[in-house]
């Protein structure tokens, strides 16, 4: 199987070299923005991977990845927009081909896809990564063959594609492989800790020092395994069984260690140790109520002072954060002010050309500082507001301002660790001007983006 996979991998790279001649690249308008098109392709590739296109049509998907990487390299080398867009066009054509192949052939192995989804949902990527990769490699061997059949028939001009049927034995084998990955994942996730503690106790001679506890821990562990095997979808039953197994494993480890420490002691020494512990517990119970009352009174006294101190520290941290933010931007680039417990970054410098929503190279330096600031303050939530001048209709400007906000949001999610869930956008049109729209300078000021940041220092 290893030799076969290496051979397939070599063939796939040879196919990539000739893929461009079999693809018709997507064409873009003369004024298309390479950065925006790369971002769109990146997002679509991410979505396709989530939809398992990389598994269903591995050859075309790998080709799309190759052209996306080429486009990114050309952009980094500051090559012409035409060269960058050419690679993006081939990448998008390859991705479209992958989706088409997936759609046509998915009915042949939809049940296998469902088994893979179940393994992923269980957490296989984290708990059974090696087994998942092995199953994926076996699945790709099958899907790559279907994809090749489809591509060959398209190249011949056939619009209706037919496939040779996958054997039931092969389908069942793939389903079982993913089912086994799912089961192993559930056991690792819920019983991994219990297994480790039982193994540790066994190494400490639990069979000699705590045979009853060892037997009970093993029984609870096997019971939990049975529950997981027979009730994969019953989360409540699994968690209850796993909790009991973990408790018995912890108890086994404690009993084993206690029994080992008592080795060599006389019966009287052991009895005295038990009595001393009983006396300590009794004394602790007698004074517990007194200590609780003292603690309650002390907490009452400290509560006010603590709240006051926390509020003072919170304000101090915020002011320090705001001061750092203000120093990062010259006056001609952005205004940074406080807005309640948030920081408002108002971008200047003509961030957008009139009537346009794309983020151009002129905006990269100031947006680079925005990224640095978001990292510095550990931004939790971000609201991006787009604004326009009063050129054109209100409806058109509302759409344009929304597009500007989304363009900045896309730039930030593509170039930072921020996720789309952390960023919200809003288009406000020309309803909140900073300057009169009657002058060119005023209109330039009004074409802006306001970035409202909630820093992590605010608690």
Q: Could you read off the pLDDT of 12-22 as tens digits, one per residue?
A: 333 443 444 47
Alpha carbon distance 299, 306 (integer Å): 10
Q: Are residues 140 and 108 in the same domain?
A: yes
Indicate whether 154 and 8 sit together in one domain: yes
Residues 10 and 138 in one domain: yes
Which pLDDT belongs to residue 19?
A: 45
Task: Answer for the pair 397, 352: CB distance below 8 angstroms, yes or no.
Answer: no
CATH number at residue 415: 3.30.1330.60
Strand 423-427 to 381-387 pairing: parallel
Q: Once rounded to an integer, what is the mean pLDDT over residues 319-331?
A: 82
Phi then psi for 202, rounded to 5 degrees?
A: -65, -40
Q: Which of the listed residues 238, 261, 284 is the one where a domain comes to its end?
A: 261
Structural domains counted in the chain: 3
Specify whether 249 is located in the same domain as 201: yes
Domain that holds residue 384: 322-454
Q: Return the number of other C-beta atoms located less than 10 Å from residue 336's C-beta.
A: 20
Residues 6+ positions from 292 with CB-CB distance below 8 Å: none
pTM of the model: 0.49
**Is the model more confident about 226 or about 289?**
226
Q: How far is the CA of 140 from the CAs of 46, 137, 292, 371, 430, in angstroms?
A: 18, 5, 64, 39, 53
Q: What is the pLDDT of residues 396-452, one digit of tens each?
A: 889 988 988 888 888 888 888 888 888 999 999 888 888 888 888 888 888 888 999
* Lowest mean pLDDT across 48-57, 311-320, 338-347: 311-320
Tally the residues of the chain. 459
Region 42-57: mean pLDDT is 90
Do residues 366 and 448 share a domain? Answer: yes
- d(CA 393, CA 389) in angstroms, rounded, equals 10
Q: Note whether 235 and 333 are same-domain residues.
A: no
Q: Are residues 152 and 201 in the same domain?
A: no
- Is the residue at 315 inside a domain? no
Least confident segment among 59-73, 171-185, 323-337: 323-337
How many Cβ atoms are within 10 Å of 232's Cβ, its own excluded?
A: 16
């Amino acid at each position: 199987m290893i030799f076969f996979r290496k051979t397939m991998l070599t063939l796939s790279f040879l196919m990539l070299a000739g893929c461009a001649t079999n693809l018709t690249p997507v064409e873009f308008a003369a004024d298309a923005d390479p950065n925006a098109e790369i971002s769109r392709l990146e997002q679509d590739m991410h979505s396709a991977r989530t939809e398992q296109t990389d598994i269903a049509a591995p050859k075309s998907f790998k080709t799309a990845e190759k052209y996306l990487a080429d486009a990114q390299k050309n952009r980094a080398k500051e090559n012409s927009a035409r060269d960058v867009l050419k690679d993006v066009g081939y990448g998008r054509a390859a991705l479209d081909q992958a989706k088409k192949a997936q759609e046509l052939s998915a009915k042949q192995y939809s049940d296998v896809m469902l088994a893979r989804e179940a393994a992923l949902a269980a957490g296989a990527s984290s708990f059974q990564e090696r087994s998942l990769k092995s199953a994926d490699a076996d699945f790709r061997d099958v899907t790559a063959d279907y994809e090749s059949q489809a591509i060959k028939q398209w190249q011949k001009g056939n619009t209706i594609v037919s496939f040779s049927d996958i054997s039931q034995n092969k389908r069942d084998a793939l389903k079982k492989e993913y089912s086994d990955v799912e089961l192993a994942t559930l056991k690792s996730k819920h019983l991994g800790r219990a297994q480790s503690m039982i193994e540790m106790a066994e190494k400490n001679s639990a069979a000699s020092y705590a045979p009853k506890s060892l037997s009970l821990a093993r029984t609870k562990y096997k019971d939990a395994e049975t529950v997981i095997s027979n009730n994969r979808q019953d989360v409540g039953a699994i968690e209850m069984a796993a909790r009991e197994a973990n408790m018995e494993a912890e108890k086994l480890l404690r009993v084993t260690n206690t029994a080992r420490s008592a080795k060599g002691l006389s019966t009287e020494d052991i009895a005295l140790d038990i009595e001393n512990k009983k006396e300590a517990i009794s004394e602790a119970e007698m004074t517990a109520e007194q200590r609780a009352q003292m603690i309650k009174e002390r907490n009452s006294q400290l509560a006010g002072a603590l709240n006051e101190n926390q509020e003072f520290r919170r304000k101090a941290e915020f002011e320090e954060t705001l001061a750092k933010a203000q120093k990062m931007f010259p006056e001609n680039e952005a205004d940074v002010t406080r807005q309640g417990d948030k920081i408002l970054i108002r971008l200047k410098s003509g961030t957008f050309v009139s009537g346009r929503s794309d983020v151009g190279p002129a905006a990269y330096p100031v947006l680079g500082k925005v990224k640095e600031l978001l990292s510095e303050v550990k931004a939790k939530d971000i609201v991006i507001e787009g604004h326009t001048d009063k050129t054109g209709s209100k409806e058109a400007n509302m759409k344009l301002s929304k597009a500007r906000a989304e363009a900045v949001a896309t730039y930030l999610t593509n170039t930072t660790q921020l996720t789309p869930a952390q960023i919200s956008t809003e288009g406000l049109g020309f309803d909140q001007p900073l300057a009169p729209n009657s002058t060119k300078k005023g209109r330039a000021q009004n074409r802006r983006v306001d970035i409202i940041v909630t820093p992590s220092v605010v608690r």
